[in-house]
Amino acid sequence: MENNFKENLKQLRKEGGLSQTQLANALNLTVKTISHWETGYTEPSIKQILELAEFFHVSLEDLLCK
């Protein structure tokens, strides 16, 4: 996965007016998980990527490659 994912996730979250805590709660994840994704420390599973794209109403391409 390209590094664009972490920037795209952070941008989508901020554009949605969400804190990491709010996003974590909405997706039933921990804040640490969101933080690790946004810093590139870890990456989400395919299932989680699909859930993120659905949550933000974006295509997989927009989430991963933009």
Q: What is the pLDDT of residue 14?
A: 97
Q: What is the pLDDT of residue 53?
A: 97
The rounded distance, in Å, linking the Cα atoms of 60 and 22 is: 22
pLDDT per residue rounded down to tens, the chain (66 residues): 556 999 999 999 999 999 999 999 999 999 999 999 999 999 999 999 999 999 999 999 999 987
Is the full-model pTM beyond 0.85? yes
Question: Is 3 in contact with 40 (CB distance < 8 Å)?
Answer: yes
Q: What is the pLDDT of residue 20?
A: 98
- Cβ-defined contacts of 37-43 (< 8 Å, 24+): 37/5, 37/6, 37/9, 38/6, 38/9, 38/10, 38/13, 39/6, 40/3, 40/6, 43/1, 43/5
Q: What is the pLDDT of residue 60?
A: 94
CATH numbers and ranges of domains, the chain: 4-64 (1.10.260.40)
